[in-house]
Chains A and B, each alone.
Chain A
Amino acid sequence: MDEFLLRALIGGILVALVSAPLGCLVVWQRMAYFGSTLSHAALLGIALGLLLELDVRLTILLVSVLIALLLMVIQRFRTLSSDTILGILAHASLAFGLLALTMMPTLRVDLMAYLFGDILTINWQDIRWIAGGGILITFVLIKIWKPLLSTIIHADLAGVDGYNQERLQLVFLLLLSIAVAVSMQVVGLLLIVSLLIIPAATARMFSSSPEQMLGWAAAVGVLAVISGLGISMTLDTPAGPSIVACGSVFFFLSLIGSSVGAFGTNSR
């Protein structure tokens, strides 16, 4: 196997593994739109990184955290619904990102690579970032898993048990920001949310417990990365979209499978 392909596989699988628990948490909390907002905001992060000549991952993280905090503050006023606020934040940061990019004298970087990802150019340094971010995310998630799950199920009930919903939510948003920052290169900003949501949604059909769903999501994600890369190699298609396309095919297959299964049980 060529080394670049090996790197792509390792990087892709790591991202799929990290995305599985976060994706489940996003789906359970109906936060898909928040994921999209983060990925839009990441463009502003990229622009800042290029302008300030910093690692774009750091500036993406910075902007994502800022967006998360801003959302929490604005939500306290509750005059506007959170999807309206998210829509404003997403497109405002997208607009400012594009403005900042055009203000740069020479566009030294291929913007398309950020929007659609370029997993085949991933290097060992990138993989170390993903692995580091993944280990951090996994470690924190294990620590807060039960409290976080409790607050998702019923915030007040968890509050009586002594779990602070707002703090847990903030930690979760931070983890999500880290994931977006480190995995952006694999599928790109436009498709990053799909790697969170599609495996989790597919896994729901086979799961009867939260942890089971997490395991299946990881499996579906890894499978999507492997088959997507395979297709990308043989058909010479762009890697990121191929991975997402494979994932969505799995999702629709599982939908069909589960409805056929349900039909079978009903007719018995």
Chain B
Amino acid sequence: MSVDDPNQVKAAEILLELNDISVTHDQTPIIEHIDLTLHRGEIVTVIGPNGAGKSTLIKTALGIIRPDQGTVKRPGSLSVGYVPQTVTLDSALPLTVMRFLKLSPNTGLEDLINTLSQVGADGLLDASMHILSSGELRRILLARALLKKPDILILDEPTAGVDITGQAELYHLIQLIRDQYQCGVLLVSHDLHIVMAATDRVFCLNRHLCCSGAPEQVQEHPEYLAIFGPQAPAEIGIYRHHHDHDHNLHGDVCDHG
């Protein structure tokens, strides 16, 4: 981890701590021996191919799945915002954006309008949930999580099905939210390009933790390259530039779980 990263300095408070987590399903291990911590004010991204156990990891962190081994530590006083990948509403259920957001406990109308404009979804308040584009739906789900004033924000594939420009906007938004709410952000993704540029630490997951560290370090790690191939980091730098090539090579970032 780079010491000069400003986010590392204020990242003292540990919001979430996974210790030696293993989850099995029907005797098949889904994730094994995962250690992961999330500090206040940092964005941690878990990347991995399909079937790597990313969603399982998130659900374990949320407390929805109980791990077969290991512990999840999360102070009970912290509020958790969860942004699922998508919501598949049955078309038989009529639902407006406002009604959907009001399902979150203790939600006032003013709060709701402010949050919607914050995520760039003004004017959608009275829209039907059924006609939203996937980008709009993602923003509404983000708004629902923000209404809880989260200390921890957990996002599952926040950009799946959103085009490249929309993805960049969403990641920018996530950074703004981190700054404003001073929360810790844990997100998983299988697309690397923009993720890498907008994140403080990366965990590369393929059932076990392959490697972890700052994005610039992880992208040169042999295990990362073995999974994602050399073409992967081509598009890094939408937010960061390529001028920081003075870091150490492979060995230092290895952090086997």
Show the binding face of A for B, using Cβ within 8 Å. Answer: 27-30, 146, 149-150, 152-154, 156-157, 159-161, 200-201, 204, 207-210, 212-213
Contacts and interface: CB of A to CB of B under 8 A. Distances in A.
Nearest to B148: A161
Contact of B144 (A29, A157, A207, A208): A157
Question: Which 10 pairs across A and B sit closest by C-beta, in order of nearness?
Answer: A160-B82, A28-B93, A207-B94, A150-B103, A27-B92, A159-B64, A154-B87, A208-B94, A156-B64, A209-B99
A142 B82 CA distance: 26
B93 A210 contact: yes
25 contacts: A29-B90, A30-B90, A146-B103, A153-B89, A153-B95, A156-B59, A156-B64, A157-B84, A157-B87, A157-B144, A159-B63, A159-B64, A160-B62, A160-B63, A160-B80, A160-B82, A161-B105, A200-B92, A204-B92, A204-B94, A207-B94, A208-B94, A209-B99, A210-B93, A210-B99
B104 interface: yes
Contacts of B87: 153-154, 157
Contacts of B103: 146, 149-150, 153
B93 A153 contact: yes
A109 B104 CA distance: 51
B128 interface: yes
A213 B128 CA distance: 14
B62 A28 contact: no
Contacts of B64: 156, 159-160
Interface of B: 59, 62-64, 80, 82, 84, 87, 89-90, 92-96, 99-100, 103-105, 128, 144
Given A28-B90, A153-B100, A160-B82, A210 B95 contact: yes
Name the residue among A150, A160, A207, A210 with the largest chain B CB count within 10 angstroms: A160
Given A146-B103, A149-B103, A161-B105, A156 B84 contact: yes
Contact of A28 (B59, B82, B92, B104): B92
B43 to A, nearest CB: 19
Given A207-B94, A208-B94, 12 more contacts: A28-B92, A28-B93, A30-B90, A149-B103, A150-B103, A154-B84, A156-B59, A157-B87, A159-B62, A160-B63, A160-B64, A209-B94
Nearest to B154: A160
B128 A208 contact: yes
A29 B80 CA distance: 27
B17 to A, nearest CB: 18
A29 B88 CA distance: 12
Nearest to A213: B94
Q: Which of B82, B92, B144 has the most CB of A within 10 A?
A: B92
B104 A161 contact: yes
Contacts of A210: 93-95, 99
A40 B6 CA distance: 66
A161 B103 CA distance: 10
Nearest to B105: A161
Given A150-B103, A210-B99, A156 B90 contact: no
Contact of A156 (B82, B93, B94, B105): B82
A35 to B, nearest CB: 14
B24 to A, nearest CB: 15
A209 B94 CA distance: 5
Given A146-B103, A159-B64, A209 B80 contact: no
By CB atoms of chain B within 10 A, which of A154, A207, A208 has the most? A154
A160 B87 CA distance: 15
A156 B103 CA distance: 14
Contacts of A201: 92
Contacts of A30: 90, 92
B99 A156 contact: no
A146 B62 CA distance: 21
A209 B95 contact: yes
Nearest to A154: B87
Contacts of B90: 28-30
Contacts of A209: 94-96, 99
Contacts of B128: 208
Nearest to B82: A160
B100 to A, nearest CB: 7
